[in-house]
Amino acid sequence: MLATLENAKSYLNIDSDASKDAFLTGALVAGQGFAENYCQQPLEEATIEPWKVHKFTGDGYDWQTLPFFPVSELVQLRQRQNPISDYSIIDDSLYGLDESNGIYKVYYSGIFVASYNYELQLKQGYTEDNVPDDLRQIIIEMAAASLCSQQKFT
């Protein structure tokens, strides 16, 4: 989770009362889910599964802008010449990741050939150590609102 139970309890000034831990943990999970739905992507760091990789067709340039953020690692880049051929793995010394102002790009030492198909497997998302404070705070505040609502009706 991007916001921990300890973060939430500190924000709510709950010291040692463990009676609400299970509810608050569930509310944090739900808050993170709401944030992920709003952003339309997972926020917690994970490697995108091979069948959910970023697929694109070359455009003759040596870079591609990625529709994901943040990207922490490029796992593998593959290419194929046509829709019926098999993908071949591109040596990882030939491509790299660049980030500028929150925009992530994959650079290739050649060019992304216009008629080729490409698949990029990558690792994206935040860890507990690098999640932006504003995002963590939003998740905690959603959990706090859930807790207040729950206490109001019990």
pLDDT score of 52:
63
- C-alpha triplet 116, 75, 89: angle, nearest 5°: 40
pLDDT score of 151:
64
The domain locations on the chain are: 5-43+129-152, 46-124
> What value does the mean pLDDT take over residues 23-33?
89
pLDDT score of 50:
58
pLDDT score of 95:
95
Please state the pTM of the whole predicted model: 0.68
> Tokens at residue 121, please?
């497997």
CA–CA gap between residue 8 and residue 144 (Å, rounded): 8
Q: What are the C-alpha distances in Å from 131 to residues 2, 18, 28, 57, 79?
A: 7, 26, 14, 32, 32
pLDDT score of 112:
93
pLDDT digits (tens, 9 = 90+) for 36-91: 888 887 888 877 765 567 888 889 999 999 887 888 888 999 999 988 899 999 99
Q: Is the pLDDT of residue 96 over 90?
A: yes
> What value does the mean pLDDT take over residues 101-121?
90
> What value does the mean pLDDT take over residues 108-124?
90
> What value does the mean pLDDT take over residues 121-131?
85
pLDDT score of 152:
60
